Amino acid sequence: DGGITQSPKYLFRKEGQNVTLSCEQNLNHDAMYWYRQDPGQGLRLIYYSQIVNDFQKGDIAEGYSVSREKKESFPLTVTSAQKNPTAFYLCASSILPGSPLGEQFFGPGTRLTVL
Amino acid sequence: AQSVTQLDSQVPVFEEAPVELRCNYSSSVSVYLFWYVQYPNQGLQLLLKYLSGSTLVKGINGFEAEFNKSQTSFHLRKPSVHISDTAEYFCAVIDSGYALNFGKGTSLLVTP
Query: Looking at the DSSP assignment, which residues form a beta bridge with residue B85?
Result: none
Cβ distance B104 to A98 less than 8 Å, yes or no, reads no
Cβ distance A4 to B98 less than 8 Å, yes or no, reads no
**CB–CB of A57/B96 below 8 Å?**
no
Cβ distance A104 to B46 less than 8 Å, yes or no, reads yes
**pLDDT confidence of residue A39:** 85
Question: For the segment A37-84, what is each residue's pLDDT rounded down to a tens digit?
Answer: 998 888 999 999 988 999 999 999 999 999 999 999 999 999 988 889
Question: For the segment B36-93, what is each residue's pLDDT rounded down to a tens digit?
Answer: 999 988 899 999 999 888 899 999 999 999 999 999 999 999 999 999 999 999 999 8
Mean model confidence pLDDT for chain A: 91
Nearest neighbour of B103 by CB, restricted to A6, A42, A109: A42
Nearest neighbour of B44 by CB, restricted to A58, A106, A111: A106
**pLDDT confidence of residue A49:** 93
Torsion of CA B41, A105, B49, A98, to 10 degrees: 130
